[in-house]
Amino acid sequence: MFTWSNVRALVIGDVMLDRYLEGEVNRISPEAPVPVVRLAREWYRPGGAGNVAASLAGLGCRTMLAGASGADPESDRLRQALLDSGVSHCVLAERPGSRTICKTRVVSQGHHQLLRLDQDGARDEYRAAGTDLKDRLAALLADQDVVVLSDYDKGTLTPSLVRAAIDACRERSIPCVVDPKQLDFRAYAGATLLTPNLLEARRAAARPLDDDDAVAEAAAELRGRLDLDHMLITRGADGMTLATSSGLHHFPAEVREVADVTGAGDTVAAVLAACLGGGLGVEDACRAASVAAGIAVGHPGCYVVQGDELDWALRGHSPKVRSPEAARRWALDQRRAGRAVVFTNGCFDILHAGHLSCLEAARKLGDALVVGLNSDASVRGLKGPTRPVVGQDHRAALLAGLSCVDAVVLFDGPTPEDLIRQIEPDVLVKGGDYSIDGIVGADLVRAQGGRVATIPLVPGLSTTSIFAASRDAESRRHSNSA
């Protein structure tokens, strides 16, 4: 069975620090026709090759990152951001003569980007760091299942480092996935899988790629010319085209509402690498990458797809069903956009009109509704060995199908307290059979400025009453037949 946590992945490439300055915009400066941003918060996350590593760690892979940075405060922030994202080991060749590559984005509280400031490192220093990494390559490759070369053309991935890494992977039978940036793809010859976007492929092919046939022809031609195992051209809304030794394959894009395409290429590279490192075939890897990209672009900013979130989507379930970590990030995105998050929870074993009435009322108390759903194990612990009647996957799918529900999160404990602590809702809601003070998590929500509410139940309509009526009807049928 494929398990993300069994995959050991190494990412080598141009590492960056992404800095976000977020604030409220409500006036134009009298000094110049520019918006005035009242700074509310500041945060950091890994960028470039760091985002690929964070994406692999988000899936659950054991991830190592090798790159370069300056010897400056931004390097310290980058290391902390990588640690926070779950990257287990980080090898950064610090170059005192350079600066850490940093992109600063000024964004509104609706997450609209207002300005970007780029701080690049000294290219010669980053090339020297690439030479240092080449000398350490054998140690870096030890015990790895897959390698990703994440090239942002900042200097770290020198031609000699790329050549040495690809050759070493070939010798060790380790898949090597390359996300290219250099105009001349000959630097990546012999890789397992090359993943240019359409613009990069067009430049490498030196001709327009305006339709499916032209893209397919270029993919096959580049694969052969570069002695690649596989060539994948990513095409945004038009999906992905794969060339292999067995032929050509097209993977349509997952149709979702697009919020932000930032980092989608990194998501694709990470999922492809994780799948190949775990022993999956390249076509299955491409299908998984397409689904993951569809999830990522549905979120503002650079979103890291979680392993269980992707597993659920690959089984054909609604993207509304999220892992606790994915739900936490989603709720944070909602609040950044100025939307109030509402939370409620329950077993929902046999979804009925009473549930629907309460859920619709809960949704009206805010802008986005998260439903915490007791897992099968949790329901058994609360209601006995004969419950639930409906399994957790089916209960989750039914809830996700309701227009008033924006996210569904399964939890195993007897109460959703830990989940509430992660989600940090603005509004906590339960049915009218609860007192405000008796609602689990009420103290947590009120302590952070949120509110707690109850909703009247539909009289005479509950799962228990439905079960009782069913048993009575069955008993009457047996009596009449006797």
Give pLDDT tens digits for 116-135. 999 999 999 999 999 999 99
Percent of the chain topping pLDDT 70: 94
Closest CA to 361 of 369, 349, 372, 373: 369
User: Residue 348 maps to which CATH number?
Assistant: 3.40.50.620
Is there a single domain that holds both residue 246 and residue 374? no
Fill in the DSSP letter of residue 157: S
* pLDDT number for residue 458: 79
- Domain identity same for 270 and 375: no
Q: Which of 88-97, 234-243, 249-258, 319-328 has the lowest mean pLDDT?
A: 249-258
Q: How confident is the model at residue 470 (pLDDT cuts 50, 70, 90)?
A: low
Q: Do 115 and 262 sit in the same domain of this protein? A: yes
Give pLDDT, residue 476. 64
pLDDT score of 371: 98
3-state SS assignment for residue 412: coil
* Domain C-terminal end among 268, 301, 316: 316
- 183 appears as a binding residue in the annotation: no
Residue 482 inside a domain? The answer is: no
* Ligand-binding site membership of 332 (annotated): no
Same domain, 182 and 301: yes
Residues 299 and 373 in one domain: no
Is 473 part of a structural domain of the chain?
no
Of 14, 72, 145, 266, which residue is the catalytic one? 266
* Same domain assignment for residues 387 and 249: no
Confidence check: pLDDT of 109 > 80? no
pLDDT band per the 50, 70, 90 thresholds, residue 315: confident
- Do 190 and 85 sit in the same domain of this protein? yes
Residue 351 assigned as binding residue: no
pLDDT of residue 473: 60
pTM over 0.85: no
Per-residue confidence (pLDDT) for residue 278, from 0 to 100: 97
d(CA 387, CA 172): 51
Dihedral angle over CA of 294, 296, 297, 299, nearest 10: 130
Rounded Cα gap, residues 122 and 1, in angstroms: 45
Please say whether the beta carbons of 363 and 372 come within 8 A: no
pLDDT band at 457 (very low <50, low <70, confident <90, very high): confident
Judge whether 481 lies within some domain. no
Of the chain, the end-to-end C-alpha distance in Å amounts to 51
Q: Which helix (H) or strand (E) holds 248?
A: strand 247-251
- pLDDT-derived band of residue 112, with 50, 70 and 90 as boundaries? confident
Any long-range contacts for 202-209 (C-beta under 8 Å, 24+ apart)?
Answer: 209/233
- CA-nearest of 84, 87, 36 to 63 is 87
Q: Among all chains, which residue has been given the structure tokens 């009289």? A: 459
Q: Do 103 and 145 reside in the same domain of the chain?
A: yes
pLDDT for the residue numbered 53: 98
Residue found under tokens 């309460």: 358
Shared domain for 217 and 278, answered yes or no, is yes
Out of 17-21, 33-37, 376-380, 470-474, pick the least confident.
Answer: 470-474
Model confidence at 260, pLDDT cuts 50, 70, 90, reads confident
Report yes or no on 1 lying in a domain.
no
Residue 51, annotated as binding a ligand: no
Q: Please say which residue of 316, 346, 363 terminates a domain.
A: 316
Residue 108: which H helix or E strand, with range?
Answer: strand 102-108
CATH number of the domain enclosing 309 = 3.40.1190.20
Residue 284 domain flag = yes
- The confidence score (pLDDT) of residue 460 equals 66
Q: Which residues contact 316 (CB under 8 A, 6 or more apart)?
A: none
Is 67 among the domain residues? yes
Residue 212 lies in a domain: yes
- 113-119 and 102-108: which strand pairing? antiparallel
pLDDT in tens, 142-170: 999 999 999 999 999 999 999 999 999 99
In whole angstroms, how far apart are CA 20 and each of 14, 106, 213, 288, 302?
Answer: 19, 6, 41, 30, 11
Mean predicted confidence (pLDDT) in 316-333 = 85
> For 398-439, what is each residue's pLDDT tens digit?
999 999 999 999 999 999 999 999 999 999 999 888 888 889
Question: What letter would DSSP give residue 350?
Answer: S
When pLDDT is averaged across residues 63-81 and rounded to a whole number, the result is: 96
Choose the weakest-confidence range: 281-285, 348-352, 375-379: 348-352
pLDDT for res 464: 63
pLDDT tens-digit series, residues 8-65:
999 999 999 999 999 999 999 999 999 999 998 899 999 999 999 999 999 999 999 9
Average pLDDT, the chain: 91
Is residue 262 in a domain?
yes
CB atoms within 10 A of CB 152: 18
Q: At CA 316, angle to CA 211 and CA 277, rounded to 5?
A: 75
Report the range of poorest mean pLDDT among 6-15, 357-366, 446-455, 464-473: 464-473
pLDDT over threshold 80, residue 294: yes
Ranking 190-204, 236-250, 342-356, 462-476 by mean pLDDT, the lowest is 462-476
441 close to 417: Cβ distance less than 8 angstroms: yes
Instruction: Please check whether residues 303 and 339 belong to one and the same domain.
Output: no
- The residues facing 66 across adjacent strands are 12, 91
pLDDT at 469: 58
Q: Is 260 a catalytic residue?
A: no
The SS3 call for residue 375 is: coil
Is the same domain home to 304 and 331? no
Distance CA 293, CA 277 (A): 19
- Percent of the chain at pLDDT exceeding 90: 75
Residue 471 has pLDDT above 90, yes or no: no
State how many domains the chain has.
2
Q: Last residue of some domain: 281, 316, 351?
A: 316
Q: Which residue has the tokens 């009120």?
A: 446
For residues 298 and 77, the model is more confident at: 77
* DSSP secondary structure code for residue 321 in this structure: B
Is 80 exceeded by the pLDDT of residue 257? no
> Are 388 and 395 a contacting pair, CB within 8 Å?
yes
* pLDDT computed for residue 168 by the predictor: 98
**330 shares its domain with 379:** yes
109 or 478: which leads in pLDDT = 109
Instruction: State which residues form the domain around 329.
Output: 322-468
